[in-house]
Amino acid sequence: MSSFSTAARRSALFVSALGLIFSSALTGCGTRSEGETPDSKATAETATAAQPAPVDSAALQRLAMRRDSLRADSIVRKSGQLPGAILPGRRIVAFYGNIRSKGMGILGREPKEQMFRKFAGVIKEWEAADPSIPVQPALHNVTITAQGTPGKDGKWRLMNSKATIEEVISWAREHKCILFLDVQPGHSTLQAELPKLEQYLKSPDIHLGIDPEFSLSTMPGVRPNQRIGTLDAKDINFTVNFLARIVSENKLPPKVLTVHRFTRRMITNYKNIKLDPRVQIVMHMDGHGDPVLKKDSYKDYIVAEPVQYTGFKLFYEYDARPKPHHIMTPSEVIALKPSPLYIQYQ
């Protein structure tokens, strides 16, 4: 993106100029061993004492990031979004699960080609229900998964193998989908887990999901699925800053971040969540069951505590049970206010 590359060039020129200043200042600062006089020694000591402090590269990087953010804000004020942003110009429709698990969702439950045929039909339903907005197909793969056992480090989570991650990336690209890598931190933290995914998030077509339900670091001794976990605004802000840095450093279009939610306590201090134009936050209604209850959850936990964009999940296995419940149609979901721009099928 041109704004980010311009900021980066300015930062690089600034660092380069500092380097030239420092190198020229240091050129005559050595001491003499032959023919040294008291005056020359004093001059050398004075020059040594006057050497500039070492360059604080971390501070310079923070300064460059701040300039990037200010520049991004300026672009948003003029055009409403950064170049390459998916939302709100498109509606994302995703199949969720894990390609190595039949029990986590439609992604992985059925054979690959059968699943993609079903997905193509779903995309057509959404296109027909609302021709005014293009549909962006997506796969949403749970990549760091909460576990029923603590594991060697006691963190109750397991990351997919490199081969599995690369396979789901190939699935997505083969079918012109964007990809979400989802994180269930268990008794670990987002601060510890997200860096493991950075190499993949450097790609423009790979985005991120985080799941407070399986974030239990504040609940010692609680096994995943025993209680509903929680994340605070500071955790969301860490994630936003993490993604924003990746966007700036790699000159990428904005990332989409989905945050699952179906109770109030899953997200605390939502008013403290800070927006950044390099990251598009979707608060995603993740509950299942009776359509009436799903609509109420959307109103109470997503609409009543707004952040940026909204999402809505549909469950193939749970929403239609018991009868006469049914899986909500695209038209029913579109009619919600605000109309969700991220739709997920599990």
**Model confidence pLDDT, tens digit, residues 206-221:** 999 999 999 999 999 8
Mean pLDDT of 212-241: 96
For residues 255 and 206, give the distance between their C-alpha atoms in angstroms, rounded to a whole number: 8
Cβ atoms of 317 and 293 closer than 8 Å? no
For residues 25 and 160, give the distance between their C-alpha atoms in angstroms, rounded to a whole number: 52
pLDDT band per the 50, 70, 90 thresholds, residue 58 = low
Give per-residue pLDDT as tens, 178-187.
Answer: 999 999 999 9
The confidence score (pLDDT) of residue 28 equals 33
Give percent of the chain above pLDDT 90.
73
| Burial category of 54 from C-beta neighbours within 10 Å (exposed 0-12, middle 13-18, buried 19 and up) | exposed
The confidence score (pLDDT) of residue 35 equals 35
pLDDT higher at 246 or 27: 246
Mean pLDDT of 309-327: 91
User: Does residue 85 lie in a domain region?
Assistant: no
User: Does residue 282 lie in a domain region?
Assistant: yes
Query: Which phi and psi (to 5°) does residue 86 adopt?
Result: -80, -45
Cβ atoms of 331 and 340 closer than 8 Å? no
The confidence score (pLDDT) of residue 56 equals 61
Residue type, 151: G
Q: Are residues 29 and 124 in the same domain?
A: no
Q: Are residues 73 and 100 in the same domain?
A: no
Alpha helices in the chain (DSSP H): 2-26, 38-49, 57-79, 106-109, 112-129, 162-174, 190-193, 198-201, 233-250, 291-297, 330-334
Is the pLDDT score of 57 beyond 90? no
The confidence score (pLDDT) of residue 323 equals 80
Is the pLDDT score of 172 beyond 50? yes
Query: Which residue has tokens 């998030």?
Result: 201
3-state secondary structure of 171: helix
**Tokens linked to 270:** 């939502």
User: Does residue 84 lie in a domain region?
Assistant: no
Q: Are residues 51 and 128 in the same domain?
A: no
Mean pLDDT of 111-140: 98
Query: Which phi and psi (to 5°) does residue 122 adopt?
Result: -65, -45
For residues 172 and 166, give the distance between their C-alpha atoms in angstroms, rounded to a whole number: 10
**Helix (H), strand (E), coil (C) string for 135-153:** EEEEEEEEEEEECCCCCCC
Q: Are residues 263 and 300 in the same domain?
A: yes
Q: Are residues 47 and 102 in the same domain?
A: no
Q: Are residues 176 and 240 in the same domain?
A: yes
Domain end call among 21, 53, 79? 79
Is the pLDDT score of 224 beyond 90? yes
Is the pLDDT score of 316 beyond 70? yes
Is the pLDDT score of 114 beyond 80? yes
Domain end call among 29, 51, 79? 79
3-state secondary structure of 110: coil
Query: Which phi and psi (to 5°) does residue 264 adopt?
Result: -65, -40
User: Does residue 266 lie in a domain region?
Assistant: yes
The enclosing domain of 173 has a CATH number of: 3.20.20
Q: Is 165 left (phi over 0), alpha (psi -120 to 50) or beta?
A: alpha
Q: Are residues 123 and 64 in the same domain?
A: no
Q: Are residues 102 and 171 in the same domain?
A: yes
Q: Are residues 54 and 161 in the same domain?
A: no
Residues found in the chain: 346
Cβ atoms of 100 and 91 closer than 8 Å? no
Q: Are residues 71 and 138 in the same domain?
A: no
For residues 333 and 330, give the distance between their C-alpha atoms in angstroms, rounded to a whole number: 5
The confidence score (pLDDT) of residue 81 equals 75
Q: How many domains does the chain have?
A: 2
The confidence score (pLDDT) of residue 322 equals 80
Q: Are residues 28 and 137 in the same domain?
A: no
User: Does residue 62 lie in a domain region?
Assistant: yes
Is the pLDDT score of 164 beyond 50? yes
User: Does residue 247 lie in a domain region?
Assistant: yes
User: Does residue 179 lie in a domain region?
Assistant: yes
pLDDT band per the 50, 70, 90 thresholds, residue 324 = confident
Is the pLDDT score of 42 beyond 90? no
Q: Are residues 258 and 333 in the same domain?
A: yes
Range of the domain at 47: 2-79
Residue type, 229: G
For residues 327 and 14, give the distance between their C-alpha atoms in angstroms, rounded to a whole number: 57
Domain end call among 79, 108, 134? 79
pLDDT band per the 50, 70, 90 thresholds, residue 345 = very high
Q: What is the pTM of this model?
A: 0.79
Closest CA to 104 of 285, 317, 330: 317
**Tokens linked to 250:** 């790699």
Is the pLDDT score of 118 beyond 80? yes
